């Protein structure tokens, strides 16, 4: 398959390019496009053949449901069986933006989108290119992150090309996705709203609107009920090719331990990559660079990556910590606890 790359101005998306991409989606094609969080790989959400092509292109397991992107709140009515009481206020506060709402689905949504779950995940993205595309199609667009399965999410069109060139019809190149981490996934289908995936919208910000919100522990291991609550939220996601070991705990001790382990690995003839955002106090900067840096480390051909953990205290810190822990896929050294090791 030939992949067309269309360069679009993020500030003022070219109407002809958008129209071309919209036509492609309507005809059942695959279009990768920038959102404010990461690049998405879109297909007509009500066309199950088109959606099936997403799974094929990414090599994604079919039990991992997709987020449906829409132009505005009104468009969700056709996708849900009813609108949860808290949804309008959340949408008013956070849409367009990096919040995904999980709601009871309507029969219009094909099984392939929701992996057979009784719920559907929906969001209204804020990136001008995504908005222009959704406005032009007036279709709900199912779109996971536009990476090959288990690779870090793409924050630039070049990442999408690296993973999906020859597997998708069109890539809209609208420059870097500025947030750099995926949306917060909030489940409104239960009694208490639950964050299934921490992301760009913090728990605190959600709490301001909801009062009561809980964090579903997504990084505690795949054997618990998390796997059923949200099948895509397994560990070993966002993983670079080189095994990544994450060091958490007291900063001074972490630094000494990372240095010692790097020295030992180098002495053993292994090429070591270090991921350390410790000197960067601004978590928005860390978020925007995290996935790109993981890809760069991989491209440099390192044999292993040693990464310094982040505190996970503020909203974005929690999301960064979550992605780092997943990338580590269990290889976490907590220097504060004497019993853990590589």
Positions in the binding site for Mg ion (CB under 5 A): 145
Q: How far apart are the first and last CA of the chain?
A: 43
Judged by beta carbon, residue 69 or residue 331, the one nearer ligand TXA is 69
The distance of closest approach from Cβ of residue 272 to ligand TXA in the complex, given in angstroms and rounded to an integer, is: 29
Burial of 283 (0-12, 13-18, 19+ CB in 10 A): buried
List phi, psi (to 5°) of 15: -60, -35
Told to check if 67 binds ligand TXA by CB under 6 A, we report: yes
> Which structure tokens are listed for 20?
């071309």
C-beta separation of 157 from 18 below 8 A: no
Told to check if 244 binds ligand TXA by CB under 6 A, we report: no
Residue in 100, 155, 245, 283 binding ligand TXA, rule: CB under 6 A: 100
Judged by beta carbon, residue 144 or residue 273, the one nearer ligand TXA is 144
Please give the angle made by the CA atoms of 179, 100 and 125, to the nearest 5 degrees.
55
What are the residues whose beta carbons fall under 8 Å from the beta carbon of 150, sequence distance 6 or more?
Answer: 236, 237, 238, 239
- When CB distances are held under 5 to 8 angstroms depending on the partner's kind, the choice from Mg ion, ligand TXA, none that residue 183 binds is ligand TXA
The Cα-based distances of 265 to 296, 305, 309, 328 in angstroms read: 20, 11, 19, 17
Told to check if 37 binds ligand TXA by CB under 6 A, we report: yes
Q: Looking only at residues 173 through 212 of this chain, which bind ligand TXA when binding is defined by CB under 6 A?
A: 182-183, 185, 196-197
Q: Looking only at residues 111 through 130 of this chain, which bind ligand TXA when binding is defined by CB under 6 A?
A: 114, 117, 119-121, 125
Judged by beta carbon, residue 41 or residue 333, the one nearer ligand TXA is 41
Q: Look up residue 74 and give its DSSP letter.
A: G
- Contact positions vs ligand TXA (CB under 6 A): 35, 37-38, 40, 64-67, 100, 102, 114, 117, 119-121, 125, 143-145, 182-183, 185, 196-197, 230-233
């Amino acid at each position: 398959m030939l992949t067309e790359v269309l360069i679009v101005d993020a500030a003022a998306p070219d109407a002809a390019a958008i129209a071309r991409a919209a036509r492609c989606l309507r005809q059942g094609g695959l279009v990768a496009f920038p959102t404010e969080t990461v690049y998405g790989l879109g297909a007509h959400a009500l066309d199950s053949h088109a959606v099936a092509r997403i799974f094929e292109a990414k090599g994604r397991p079919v039990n991992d449901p997709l987020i449906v992107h829409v132009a505005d709140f009104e468009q969700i009515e056709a996708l849900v069986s009813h609108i949860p009481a808290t949804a309008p206020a959340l949408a008013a506060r956070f849409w367009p933006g990096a919040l995904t709402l999980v709601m009871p689905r309507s029969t219009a949504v094909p099984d392939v989108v929701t992996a057979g779950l009784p719920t559907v995940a929906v969001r209204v993205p804020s990136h001008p290119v995504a908005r222009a595309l959704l406005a032009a199609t007036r279709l709900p667009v199912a779109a996971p992150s536009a990476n090959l399965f288990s690779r870090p999410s793409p924050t630039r069109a070049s990442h999408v090309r690296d993973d999906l060139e020859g597997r998708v019809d069109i890539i809209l190149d609208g420059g870097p996705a500025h947030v750099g981490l995926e949306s917060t996934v909030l489940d409104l289908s239960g009694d208490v709203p639950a964050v299934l995936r921490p992301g760009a919208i913090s728990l605190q910000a959600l709490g301001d609107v909801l009062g009561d919100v809980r964090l579903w522990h997504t990084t505690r291991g795949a054997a618990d009920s998390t796997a059923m609550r949200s099948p895509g939220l397994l560990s070993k996601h966002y993983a670079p090719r080189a095994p990544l070991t994450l060091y958490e705990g007291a900063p001074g001790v972490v630094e000494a331990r990372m240095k010692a382990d790097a020295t030992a690995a180098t002495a053993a003839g292994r090429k070591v990559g270090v991921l350390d955002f410790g000197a960067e106090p601004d978590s928005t900067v860390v978020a925007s660079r995290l996935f790109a840096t993981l890809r760069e480390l991989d491209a440099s051909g390192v044999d292993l990556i040693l990464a310094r953990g982040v505190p996970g205290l503020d909203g974005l810190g929690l999301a960064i910590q979550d992605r780092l822990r997943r990338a580590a896929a269990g290889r976490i050294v907590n220097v504060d606890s004497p019993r853990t090791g590589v």
